[in-house]
Amino acid sequence: MDRGYRSLADQVRAWPDDRLSRLLVARPDLATPAPQDSAQLAARAATRSSLVRALDGLDRLELTVLDALISAGQTTDDQILNNVSADRHSTRAALDRLRDLALAWDSTGGLRAVTGLADLPLVAPDVSLAGPADGPPALATSPRDATLVDRAGAGAAFEAVRRVELLLDGWGAAPPGALRSGGLGVRDLKAAAARLHVDEPTVALFIEVAAAAGLLATGPDDDGTLGWLPTVAFDGWLAQMPAERWTVLARAWIGSNRTSALVGHRDPAGKVWNALVPELVSPTVIETRRMTLTAMAALPTGEVLAAGTGGPSVLARLEWLRPRRPKSRAAEIAWTFTESAVLGITALGGLASYAGSLLDGEDPSDALAALLPEPVDHILLQADLTAVAPGPLEASLARRLGVVAEVESRGGATVYRFTPASVRRAMDLGWSAVELHDFVADVSRTPVPQPLTYLIDDTARTFGVVRIGFAEAFLRADDEHALTELLHHPAAAGMGLRRLAPTVLISTTPLDVLLPQLREAGVAPVVEAPDGSLHVARPDAQRARTPRRTPDGVGTARDAARVAAVVTAVRAGDQAAAARPAATTETLTPIGSLAALREAIDAGVSVVIGYVDNHGTRTDRVIDPLSVDGGQLRAHDRRADEVRLFAVHRISSVRPA
C-alpha cells in the first residue's frame, strides 16, 4: 500500500496531473467553478450532492466494495479482498476506481471511505448488495445469421431516411403551427402519421430525431405565423447519400435526451404530452440507450437477443451495472429496442454490424452504403394512371415525382398514381403541360400510356381558363361561357359572385377563402398579380434558420481544454497555499473553513475554531468535528461537553488544537 496521507486533500495534492484530470472528467461537477486549490477540491468532493452523483455511476461490485470499506472504517486492501465475495482481480480494480473517483483514500491508519458516505444510502431500500458480486449476468441469446440482421437493419434505415425526407418536404410546403408551449399539435401529428403511413409513436420519433439533428426548427412561415419548418441544413442533408443522411439521424438519436415514446401519454397532471415540447426530456435516457446498445454489441457474431427473455436479461445486466438508477430504466430499455429497430440500428434482436461503429464515434456510412440498394433513375408507367418505381428512386426524381403524382403504396416497389389534383398541383407550382409530357417520357422505361397523355392535356386545357385576382376578389376569363357555368354552379351560391362584364366576375369572398372553394367546385384557377402577370406560389421554399450546434469533436476538445485549465488553477493554488506564511488566527471564507474542517474529520483530530455567535461575539472553541452537511458542522464541543451544530459561515478560523 502507498504511504498514508493526513487528509484526502494531501492525497489529491500528491497525484500527478493526468490522474487529477481523470478525476475531473469522471466527476465534472468538481470542476465547476474551478476550485482554488486541492483543499477546496477535496472539500467539494465530499459534499452530499457530489457524492450522490458519483455513486450513481458505480456498478454493483464497486458499491459492494464501498459498503465493505465503510463498514470496516479503516482497513487494508487485502482485508477488503478477503471480505468481498468476488474475483480478487475485479475487486482490486474496483478499489482502484474508488480511489480514482476520490471516494476512498489512503490515510495514515489505512484505507478508508470519504467522510459523508456513511450517512448516504448506497442503494434503494428494495435493492440488496448481499451475495456474490462477480460480474453482470449473461444475456439470453439465440442464433441468427448476421447477414439477415444487417439486411433487415439496412432496409429499416433506408425507410427511416425516406420518411424523414417526405415529412420535412411536406412541412416545407405546408408547415404546421407551433403551439404556445413550443410543441406540435395533436392534429398535425395525426396528419403526419397518415401521410407517412405509420403510427403516431413512429412519426413522433421521426419528428423528434429530425429536430435533434438540426433539420427541423420553428420559424415564421409565409403568413408570418410561427410554425415548424425544415431548416437550411435540410437542403444540405438532401444532397448527401442515403447512408450519410442516416448517419446524421442515428447520431442525433443516440445523443438526444428526448423521450418521444411519451408522446400521446399523460403527464402527472393529466395533460397529454405533445411532440417537441421542451419538457419531454430525461437525464438518464442517453446512458440507457448507450448501455443497451453496448450490451448488444458485445454479443458474439451470429447471436441475437432471444425473443421473450432477451429484454429481461438486458434489464438485469443494466441493474447490475447501475443499481442506483431510477425505476424508469425498464421503460427506457423497451423504448431503446423499439426506436433503434425503427431507425435501422438494430434488427431481429441484434445490433447491425454497421451500427457498432456509431458507439465508437466512427463513421458507418461506407458499411451501410454497401448494404443499401442502388437508387434507380426511372419508373414504369402503367395504363391505369399509375407508375411503379422498381426500387429506391434518386432523391431529385423522387421529389419531382411526388409533386405530379400521389403515393399509393410503399414497399420494395413504390406505386404512384396520377390524378387531376396532382397534375393541377404541379401546374400551380409552375409546370407547363409541355414540361409534364417531357418529364414522364424521360423518366419512364415504358411508353407513356394514352390515358396519362389525355389527363395532362385535359387538365392543362382547363388550367388558367379562369383567373382570380385581388379585388376581394375578381375573376376574368376569355371564355364568357366558362364564367356563366360558374355562376350557375351549385357551389357558387356562397361565393358572392357577380358579373361585371361578359368576361369579368367579382366576389365578396376574400381571395384566400375563394381559391380553395373554386378548386373544390372543379375549377382550376391561377392567381393573377396586380400587374396582370401570373402569380405562381412556391411554398416548398420555406425554411427556418438552422439551430446552432457544436460540431463533432469540438465539445470533446473544449472539455479537455477546460479540465487542463482547472488542473493548472489547482496547482497554482497549491503553490500559493504552500508559500503563504502560517497564521494561527487566519480568517477563512466558508469554503476555506469547510475544507479545513473536512481535513480534520478525515484525520480524526481536534481543532480550535473561531466562532461568531448570534450576538456578533467571537469566541474560540475546542471541538472534535464529526461531520459536515448542508452548511452545518456537527461536532463535540469540549467546553459544553455535548454534540452540537455550528453554522459553517460563522466559523472565522480553524487551527489545530
Mean of pLDDT over the chain: 85
* Domain end position, chosen among 87, 119, 151: 119
Picking from 119, 151, 167, the residue at the C-terminal end of a domain is 119
* Maximal C-alpha separation, the chain: 112
Average pLDDT over residues 314-330: 87
Question: End of a domain among 434, 462, 490?
Answer: 462
Q: State the average pLDDT over residues 564-583.
A: 75
Are 107 and 4 within 8 A, CB to CB? yes
* pLDDT tens digits, one per residue of 422-453: 898 888 878 888 999 999 999 999 999 999 99
Please give the pLDDT value at position 524.
76
Q: How far apart are CA 29 and CA 562, in angstroms?
A: 12
Task: Give me the pLDDT at residue 96, please.
Answer: 93
Split at pLDDT 50, 70, 90, the class of 142 is very high
Question: Is residue 573 included in any domain, yes or no?
Answer: no
Same domain, 271 and 358: yes
Does the pLDDT at position 232 exceed 80?
Answer: yes
> Is the pLDDT at 581 greater than 70, yes or no?
no
Q: 254-275 pLDDT, tens per residue?
A: 999 999 999 989 888 888 899 9
Distance CA 545, CA 338 (A): 31
User: What's the grid cell of residue 642?
Assistant: 455535548
3 pLDDT band (50/70/90 cuts)?
Answer: low
- 475 and 457 assigned to the same domain: no
Strand partners, 507: 497
Which of the residue ranges 304-308, 428-432, 528-532, 615-619 has the most confident prediction, judged by mean pLDDT?
A: 304-308
Do residues 354 and 413 share a domain? no
DSSP 352-403: -GGGHHHHTT---HHHHHTTSPPPB--BEE-TTSEEEESSPBPHHHHHHHHH
Mean pLDDT is lowest, of 250-254, 531-535, 538-542, 607-611, for 538-542
Would you say residue 296 has pLDDT above 90?
yes
Binned at pLDDT 50, 70 and 90, residue 516 comes out as: confident
Say if CB 102 and CB 113 are below 8 A apart. Answer: no
My answer on whether 190 and 268 are in the same domain is: yes
Q: Which three cell numbers stand for residue 174?
A: 405546408
Band (398; pLDDT cuts 50, 70, 90): confident
Q: What is the Cα–Cα distance from 372 to 385, expressed in whole angstroms?
A: 29
pLDDT band per the 50, 70, 90 thresholds, residue 590? low
Shared domain for 456 and 478, answered yes or no, is no
Q: How many structural domains compose the chain? A: 5
**CATH number assigned to the domain comprising residue 115:** 1.10.10.10
Region of poorest pLDDT, from 259-263, 272-276, 502-506, 557-561: 557-561
Whether residue 558 is contained in a domain is answered as no
pLDDT score for 256: 93
Tens of pLDDT, residues 591-645: 667 777 877 887 778 888 888 887 777 888 888 888 887 778 888 888 777 888 8
1-10, 306-315, 600-609, 645-654: range with lowest mean pLDDT:
1-10
Judged by DSSP in three states, 71 sits in helix
Look at residue 470 in the predicted model and tell me its pLDDT: 55
Same domain, 18 and 109: yes
In angstroms, rounded to a whole number, what is the distance separating the alpha carbons of residues 307 and 539?
Answer: 47
Q: Are residues 222 and 237 in the same domain?
A: yes
Greater confidence (438 vs 507) lies with: 438
Q: What pLDDT sits at residue 223?
A: 67
- pLDDT in the model for residue 587: 46
Most confident of 306-315, 481-490, 547-556, 570-579: 306-315
Asked whether residue 156 falls in the same domain as residue 223, the answer is: yes
Query: Is 132 among the domain residues?
Result: no
- Looking at the fold, whether 328 and 454 belong to one and the same domain comes out as no
**What pLDDT score was predicted for residue 123?**
83
Quote the strand ranges of 81-165, DSSP E: 104-107, 110-113, 141-143
Is 207 part of any domain? yes
Domain that holds residue 625: 590-656
pLDDT at 10 over 50: yes
Q: Which of 232-236, 244-248, 426-430, 492-496 has the highest mean pLDDT?
A: 244-248
* 191 in the same domain as 58: no
In a domain, 639, yes or no: yes
Q: Is 72 inside any structural domain? A: yes
Is 560 within the bounds of a domain? no
Residue 324 in domain: yes
pLDDT band of residue 345 (cuts 50, 70, 90) is very high
CATH of the domain at 643: 2.30.30.100
pLDDT at 487: 86
List C-alpha distances in Å: 20 to 25, 170, 220, 643.
Answer: 9, 52, 49, 36
The phi, psi pair for 134, rounded to 5°, reads -60, -50
Name the band, by pLDDT with cuts 50, 70 and 90, for residue 552: low
pLDDT digits (tens, 9 = 90+) for 440-490: 999 999 999 999 999 999 988 888 777 665 567 888 888 888 888 888 888
Per-residue pLDDT, 555: 58
Residues 506 and 437 in one domain: no
**471 and 452 in one domain?**
no
Cβ atoms within 10 Å, residue 413:
14
Cis peptide before 132 (omega within 30 of 0): no
pLDDT digits (tens, 9 = 90+) for 162-205: 899 889 988 988 889 988 878 999 999 999 999 888 999 999 99
